Structure 1
Amino acid sequence: MYDVIIIGAGVTGCAVARYLSRYQGKMLVLERAEDVCCGTSKANSAIIHAGFDAAHGSLMAEMNVRGNRMVPQLARDLDFPFQMNGSLVVCMSEEDMPRLRALYENGVKNGVERLEIVDSKRLHEMEPNVSKNAVAALWAPTGGIVCPFNMTIALAENAYANGVEFRFNTKVTGFTRGSGCWTIHTDGGDFQTRYVVNAAGVYADVLHNMVSEERKLHITPRRGDYCLLDKQTGGFVSHTVFQLPGKLGKGVLVSPTVHGNIIVGPTAIDIEDRDGTNTTAAGLDDLIAKAGISVDNLPIRQTITSFAGLRAHEDHHEFVIGEVGDAPGFIDCAGIESPGLTSAPAIGETVAELLREKMGLAEKENFIATRKGLLDPKTLSREEYQALIRENPAYGQIICRCEQVTEGEIIDAIRRPLGARSLDGVKRRTRAGMGRCQAGFCSPRVMEILARELGVSQAEITKCGGASRLIVGVNKDSIGEVREG
């Protein structure tokens, strides 16, 4: 019997787990994939939104602004990359100036600090590559950029350090409400709990509708295509450059990443497939055309990869957070689309406080508030790095040439609590495979290290869990058997 079971190990579920781990109780996170951060949280714009766009008075606006204020300290406490680089919403014509002013006024009402409208001259001083046709911009200094992988992993590791259990490769198939508790049915057996937190992303409506008759939810998977540019383009813009929002969202952005690349995207294409993260030629063509509106001479030819993510778009474009009226003990965190990444700490804190009040949970005296991330040798001085190699020679072996990732970092990523079990798991934690060659060089060596550390055959190593094995046969052995025959 658990006190709380959280369904979904994305950034929202892991934030709930982290803030809930402040209190005494038996907690579990169930995740259908093989690792944390395998859904919406792994494929997004990596933006910490200032909070000027969400409708005033909405839960989305409240969580956005609170989350924005929480992230800087959280990044320091949990040791994940974050930069407050600021954002610019570019206005391309005098006719659109009323819309820009309305956005400014909405942001002020939402409580966003230091907002201002800058004229064309100042805009081009701040961002020389913004389109020469731009007439003004909304400047939001509190906007930022973050590593969504490391943020989610940091929340999960800190929750785990404080006693939260995690179970992966476990798909929820149904619920039964008993006397004062829920039984969660999964493909890995049944689990009992006093409270359920539904943080299942694009599947949150499916789970909600299993338990509620009073109010049905409907979530549309909204696909967003992205292009990631080589680090050589890293100085193209220094702020996050938005276009004025339209009915499908904030438009295509051009932004630096915390790792020195440039990211371009997303599109907004409603689809039916809740796992449909394939890119399309039409989607990427649309993305490139739209990106060229707000900036001049975008170096799109230096794209090193393209990818797509899904946003959980609820029909009313609003976060659904709270206990389900006709399903006591079932807490929704549904419809968490943009600005969901920014809002995650606020959502986690809100849900944890709700559960504390309902269950009368006591605070832990020994709560661990901080977490240390992977050691990055690139942050060390030459003398410190040489001393590290003498102590542990694995840090002197470069495995990923593009990102300069060492064997020591990969071993650490595998051995950590909730450590990597796949190529993508290593990539999210260390960036091995995220560089220009997109794992063309380092994959065989990473597979060797994974197999050695996990004590399995390389044939069992997957790209991202499930059936995504990279080795389907061994030619040498097969040839030998034929010769012997």
Structure 2
Amino acid sequence: MMDVIIIGAGVIGSSIARELSRYQLDICVLDKEPDVCCGTSKANSGIVHAGHDAKPGTLKARLNVLGNQMMEETARELDIPFKRNGSIVLCFSESEAGRLEVLKKQGEQNGVKGLRVVTGSEMKEIEPNISDKVLAFLYAPTGGIVCPFELTAAMAENAFANGAAFYFNTQVKEIKKMGNGYRVATDNGDFEAKLVINAAGVNADLFNNMVSSKKLTIVPRKGEYCLLDKKAGDFVNTTVFQLPTNLGKGVLITPTVHGNLMIGPTAENIIDREDTATTAEGIAQVIDKALKSSEKVPVRQVITSFAGLRAHERERDFVIGEAEDAPGFINVAGIDSPGLTSAPAIGVMVSEMAAKILKAEKKTDFQAERKGIRFIRDMDIEEAYAKIAANPAYGRVVCRCETITEGEILDAIHRPLGAQTLDGVKRRTRAGMGRCQAGFCSPRVMEILARELDIPQENIVKSGQGSNLIADSKREG
């Protein structure tokens, strides 16, 4: 019997695994997908929110601000990109002006530093491309941007390096209370642990409801986005929001840490927990609302669109804690926005909670730092030449849009919790994220994956079961 089972290998499950791996505990993470970051975490804005949106006194408010404060050190330890680019919330009419003041006071109550309302010519000094119809905006200098893929993968890798086990392609079917813990039945066998942590995103209510009479209800909230080419990446300096609505923070315009521009998301409550399809109506809505913030948004530079699901709980706050009638079962549910921002703080909170229940002691040999992939494109000439001389694979460019080499793809495959799929390579290296959207590099990446994993190309999948790109000729026969 293990000490802890964590259900879900998204940014929340991976953060908890990393923090729990500081303790002398036997930990495993279960996920139905073939890799980390395949659910809610894979499709969001990558925004590190300042913390003025959440209602004072809520878990969202406290963990948002704390997670924001922790992100810089977290990014440094995990060797991932992070930028405090600041954020602004636009006001278009006198009738809306009071709402900016409400957000400012709310943010100050939450502990957000440096908030101020900006008017007049200073608005264009901070953000030149916003609409002339903007009367004022709330400026939050502590807002930031991060890559959700790299953050999740880095947390998981660090947890793995510190002893946490990860089981992918392992779908939880049933959870039953035992005398001294829980049995978790999956399609990959049964697992038993003294304590279960439920970080299953949009499915967290299903697992809670298997063991607790206090039912949770998660509503999947779909958000559609457009990603623009790097030629548009400097269109805005800050993350540009409109005033929030009951369905969320609204459509934003933001740079990404990798130099693209992103607009979105929509906010639509849906029933299907697997529906991540984009729609013509959704994309039109994203573009229309983005153009309200700035009529100059270069929408012709859109290179792809995508959609993600947020786990919205009806009480509008994070649900974190031991189920009242299921001791040893900890819910980390309803983690919608600002879940990504809050992830480092949630990891600490939940790990301390679990360690207290299990009376666990901290390790003396925990390794907090992890090194990411070094890219040839980021090196100076001398360093790049030396790298290529030592291993010619770093001189063979596979993805021309993002200048990703074979050597970097090999690093992604063979590092801890390495890539096993096309999307796994993509999220670790950005191979396929450029203008052609994998049109040219996919065949070569598949060849490398097949060779390094020693499997036929017919078995290579894009993201999960059923997403094979090559038909099995034997089956066809």
Query: Which runs of 4 or more aligned residues in structure 1 lie more than 6 Å from their structure 2 counterparts after TM superposition?
Result: none
Q: Which residue in 1 is equivalent to 2:315?
A: 316
Inter-partner Cα distance in structure 1 for 2:431 and 2:473: 25
Q: Cα offset for 1:124?
A: 1.1
Query: Any conservation in 2 of the 1:92–1:294 contact (CA below 8 Å)?
Result: no
- 1:418 alignment counterpart: 417
- Whether 2:112 is the aligned partner of 1:112: answer yes
What displacement does 1:296 show?
A: 2.1
| SS of equivalent to 1:399 | strand
List aligned pairs for 1:389-400, cutoff 5 A. Answer: 389-400=388-399
- Does residue 179 of structure 2 align to residue 179 of structure 1? yes
Which residue of structure 1 lines up, in the alignment, with residue 297 of structure 2?
A: 298
Partner AA of 1:449 in structure 2: I
For 1:257, the equivalent position in structure 2 comes to 256
Q: Deviations over 1:448-467 (max 9, x none)?
A: 00000000111111111211
Q: Distance in 2 between matches of 1:255 and 1:303?
A: 13
State the alpha-carbon separation in 1 of the partners of residues 381 and 469 from structure 2.
37
2:340 maps to 1:353? no
Task: Determine the C-alpha separation between the residues in 2 that align with 1:39 and 1:295.
Answer: 31
How far did residue 473 of structure 1 move?
4.2
Percentage identity across paired residues of the two chains: 58
Rounded Cα–Cα distance in structure 2 between residues aligned with 1:403 and 1:412: 16
> Deviation digits for residues 352-392 of structure 1, max 9, x if unmatched?
00111111111111000100001111221101100110001
The 3-state SS of whatever aligns with 2:121 is helix
What secondary structure sits across from 1:139 in the alignment? Answer: strand
Deviation of 1:125 (Å): 1.1
Q: Which residue of 1 aligns with 2:87?
A: 87
Q: Structure 1 counterpart of 2:460, which letter?
A: I
In the alignment, the residues of structure 1 paired with residue 267 and residue 328 of structure 2 have an alpha-carbon distance, to the nearest angstrom, of 34
Q: Counterparts of 1:180-259 in structure 2 under 5 Å?
A: 180-213=180-213, 215-259=214-258
Deviations 1:245-295 (A, max 9, x none): 111111100000000000000000111010100001111111111111111
3-state SS of paired residue (1:5): strand
Tell me, yes or no, if the aligned pair for 2:328 and 2:357 is still in contact at 8 Å.
no
Task: Give the letter for the 1:437 counterpart.
Answer: C
Q: Is the 8 Å Cα contact of residues 176 and 210 (structure 2) preserved in structure 1?
A: no
Moved more, 159-168 or 281-290: 281-290
TM-score (norm 1): 0.97
Match of 1:149, SS? helix
Within 2, Cα distance between the matches of 1:289 and 1:175? Answer: 45
Q: Partners of 1:142 and 1:168 in 2: how far apart?
A: 36
Aligned partners of 2:370 and 2:442: how far apart in 1?
A: 28
- Maintained 8 Å contact 1:176/1:183: yes
Q: Runs of 5+ in structure 1 lacking a partner?
A: none
Q: Distance in 1 between matches of 2:102 and 2:335?
A: 24
CA shift, 1:120, in A, is 3.1
- Give the structure 2 partner of residue 433 of structure 1: 432
Deviation at 1:75, TM superposition (A): 0.2
The equivalent of 2:59 in structure 1 is: 59
Q: State the alpha-carbon separation in 2 of the partners of residues 374 and 384 from structure 1.
A: 14
1:315-348 Cα deviation digits (max 9, x unpaired) = 1111000000000000000000000000011000
Matches within 5 A, 1:76-155: 76-155=76-155
The amino acid of 1:321's aligned partner reads I
State the Cα distance separating 1:180 from its structure 2 match: 1.4
The letter of the residue matching 1:142 is T
The SS at the match of 1:388 is: helix
C-alpha contact (below 8 Å) 1:120/1:134 kept by paired residues: no
Q: Find the counterpart in structure 1 of residue 381 from structure 2.
A: 382
Question: Which position in structure 1 is the counterpart of 2:266?
Answer: 267
